[in-house]
Structure 1
Amino acid sequence: MASRDWIEIESFEAVDDIGVFDRPDIPRVEAILSGAPEREWQQFFAVRARALEQNQPGLRMEILADRLGFHTRASHIEETCRLVNDAVQGTNHDYAAQKAAEERRIADRDAEVRELMSRVKEINSDWPPERGAE
């Protein structure tokens, strides 16, 4: 798997929205990612994120470019950061497994094509077949 497919959380930043008039009740944190995940990776992440959000009422995660945003209270920040990191790492593993399975399918198909070509060459070497006596 290419290194750009493996996403890490490099750091977390609290969003300073002091003085912003229309803000949510719960403060926002952004995880700074090691790169902007591709759409396919994000689809795997969405599955993990929805499962985590169902187990953690009030937690909502969204990826915007190279940042993963979520809301949490200061008293829960360490636990929430660990949960978010686990979701990212789990996504990496899910995505890597899917990519490996895809590569195996391609290799299997390529082997079958090579075998098919070999068998067609054998058929062609004795073509056309001899016709029986009429």
Structure 2
Amino acid sequence: MASRDWIEIESFEAVDDIGQFDRPDIPRVEAILSGAPEREWQQFFVVRARALEQSHPGLRMEILADRLGFHTRAAHLEETCRLVNDAVEGTNHDYAAQRTAEEKRIADRDEEVRAMMAQVKAINASWPPEKAAE
């Protein structure tokens, strides 16, 4: 798979919004990703993210380019970072499985086309068919 198909979290950064007037109640953290995920990868991530958000009220995750942002309290930071990392790793596995299945479907279809081409050659070699005596 291409490098953008397998995304890792390289590091985490706390967002310093101390001087800002209008800010959310819960501080923001950003996971720095190893690359900007492609749209298909992000669609798989959204499924995992929404499931995680439902089981952990208050957690919201969003990807902006090569950063994955989320809000968490300092007391839960390590646990939340692990959950976010698990979501990214799970997405990698889901996406890889889908890509492998798609590649197999393409290979199976290509093999069917090759078999049909061989059959057509055999049909053409004895064409036209002999007419049955009436």
TM exceeds 0.5? Answer: yes
CA distance in 2, matches of 1:44, 1:83: 16
The aligned counterpart of 2:6 is 6
1:80 has 2:58 as partner: no
**Structure 2 residue aligned with 1:53:** 53
Give the distance between the partners of 1:61 and 1:32, measured in 2 at CA: 13
Question: CA separation in 1, counterparts of 2:71 and 2:54?
Answer: 15
Which TM-score applies when normalising by structure 2? Answer: 0.98
Aligned-partner Cα distance in 2 for 1:43–1:74: 29
Q: CA RMSD in A?
A: 0.6
Correspondence for 1:31: 31
Structure 1 alignment gaps of length 5 or more = none
Does 2:18 match 1:18? Answer: yes
| TM-score, length basis structure 1 | 0.98
Question: Aligned equivalents of 1:4 and 1:20: distance in 2?
Answer: 34
How far apart in 2 are the matches of 1:16 and 1:132?
87
Aligned-residue offset at 1:133: 2.7
Rounded to whole Å, the distance in 2 between the matches of 1:69 and 1:32 is 9
* Percentage of matched positions with identical amino acids: 85
